[in-house]
Amino acid sequence: MNTVDAKRVLETALICAPQPLPLRELRTLFDDALGSDTLKMLLQELQHEWAQRGVELVQVASGWRFQSRPEMRVYLDRLHPEKPPRYSRATLETLAIIAYRQPVTRGDIEDIRGVTVNSLIIKQLEDRGWVEVIGHRETVGRPAMLATTRQFLDDLGLSSLDQLPALEESSVQERLLAGLSEDTDPAQASLPELADSADASAPQELPALLEAPASDDPPADPLLDLKP
């Protein structure tokens, strides 16, 4: 099989796949006749060929996929004009702490936020597929240790935790996390829509949240309407 045909096979498989495809699955398209290095080269050539189109080929945590470019989101949203529900401030702060301090226990999160963590918050993040239990800390009560999942990275359009904004880039973090919604469609646009402005659903600046001592008088954080 020549290079043109091989890229056509990869292109077709990736466009038709409902989920990202890792290299090991892409190799099965060719009965393992093509090695991983060759596949990566072909995928990079496909990326270049699609560079000027409204759809791009990207690598995320779970594999490779085609997705719409972020600048196309404003047009695609016109097909579904209703705004998705936003997560509460408390939920986004909890998610940020797990993402940047993982693995953490519920007690760790409460120490950082200075307020009790509602069990529903953890359940919502687990149900969404963004957080999972990866073990238990060997201490009194053996509390569960929480970490983010590949799905979390996929929905952010990232391939690894190393690509999360640095703690100094608080404004970038806020927009990134605030843009996450339960209606995120990786096939449409894996990078979340940036928030238009700060509101009650946006997290605090993450450096302050993760580094400042717990407040003696934490603000109330009622949950917004969330899909079950």
Q: At residue 100, does pLDDT exceed 60?
A: yes
Beta pairing partners, 221: none
CA distance linking residue 33 with residue 55, whole number of Å: 28
64: domain CATH number is 1.10.10.10
116, part of any domain: yes
Residue 186 and residue 137 in one domain: yes
CA 224 and chain centroid, separation: 21
Q: How many domains does the chain have?
A: 2
Nearest Cα to Cα of residue 69 among 54, 52, 57: 54
Q: Report pLDDT for 204.
A: 39
Residue 68 and residue 105 in one domain: no
The chain-wide mean pLDDT, for the chain, equals 77
CA distance linking residue 70 with residue 193, whole number of Å: 8
Q: At residue 19, does pLDDT exceed 70?
A: yes
Q: Report pLDDT for 80.
A: 78
Residue 104 and residue 194 in one domain: yes
Q: Where are the alpha helices (DSSP H) in the chain?
A: 3-16, 23-28, 36-49, 73-76, 89-101, 106-113, 119-128, 150-156, 170-178, 206-211
pLDDT digits (tens, 9 = 90+) for 110-156: 998 888 889 999 999 999 999 999 999 998 889 999 999 998 988 88
225, part of any domain: no
Domain limits at 111?
A: 89-211
